Amino acid sequence: MSAPSIEAAPVLAEAPAPAPRKRRRMRIPASVIGGAVVVLVIGLAAALAPWIAPHNPLDVGSFDLLNAEMPPAFMAEGDSRFWLGTDNQGRDLFSAMLYGARVSIAIGGGAVLVAATVGVILGLLAGYLGGWVDALIMRVGDVILSLPTILLALLVSGVARAVFPEAGTAQWAPVILIGAIAIHEWVQYARTVRAATMVESSKDYVRAARVMGLPSIRIMARHILPNVLSPVIVIATINLAAAVLTEATLSFLGVGMPPTYPSLGTLIRIGNEFVFSGIWWIATFPAALLVVLVLGVNIVGDWLRDWFNPKRQAR
Partner 1 sequence: MLAALASRLAQALLVMLAVTAIAFVMFRYVGDPVAMMSREDASPAEKAELRKTLGLDRPVLVQYGEFVGRVATGDLGVSFRNQRPVADLLGERLPATLELVIVATILSLSIGVPIGVLCALNPEGKAARLVQTVSLIGISMPTFVTGIALILVFAVILRWLPSFGRGDVVLVGGWTTGFLTKSGWASLVLPSITLALYQLTLIMRLVRAEMIDVLSSDYIRFARARGLPARYINFHLALRNALMPVVTVTGLQIGSLIAFAIVTETVFQWPGMGLLFIQAVSFADVPVMAAYLLFVGFLFVVINMAVDLIYTIIDPRLRTRRA
- Residues at the site binding partner 1, with contacts judged by CB under 8 A: 143, 146-151, 154-155, 157-159, 161-163, 241, 245, 248-249, 252-255, 268, 271-272, 275-276, 278, 280, 283-284, 287, 290-291, 294-295, 298-299, 302, 314-315
Compute the least distance from the CB of residue 34 to partner 1, in Å: 12
Compute the least distance from the CB of residue 35 to partner 1, in Å: 10
User: Which one, 119 or 296, has the nearer CB to partner 1?
Assistant: 296
Compute the least distance from the CB of residue 142 to partner 1, in Å: 9
Output b/e per residue, 35-74; b: 16+ Cβ within 10 A.
bbebbeebbebbeebeeebebbbbeeeebeeebebbbbee
Compute the least distance from the CB of residue 62 to partner 1, in Å: 28
- The secondary structure of residue 92, as a DSSP letter, is B
User: Which one, 158 or 226, has the nearer CB to partner 1?
Assistant: 158
Q: Does residue 200 contact residue 194 with C-beta atoms inside 8 Å?
A: no
User: Which one, 228 or 248, has the nearer CB to partner 1?
Assistant: 248
Q: CA-to-CA distance for 288 and 267, rounded, in angstroms?
A: 12
Compute the least distance from the CB of residue 208 to partner 1, in Å: 40
Q: CA-to-CA distance for 197 and 227, rounded, in angstroms?
A: 8
User: What counts of helices (H) and strands (E) characterise the chain?
Assistant: 13, 0
User: Which one, 206 or 294, has the nearer CB to partner 1?
Assistant: 294
Q: CA-to-CA distance for 177 and 125, rounded, in angstroms?
A: 26
Cβ atoms within 10 A of the Cβ of 22, count? 7
User: Which one, 205 or 252, has the nearer CB to partner 1?
Assistant: 252
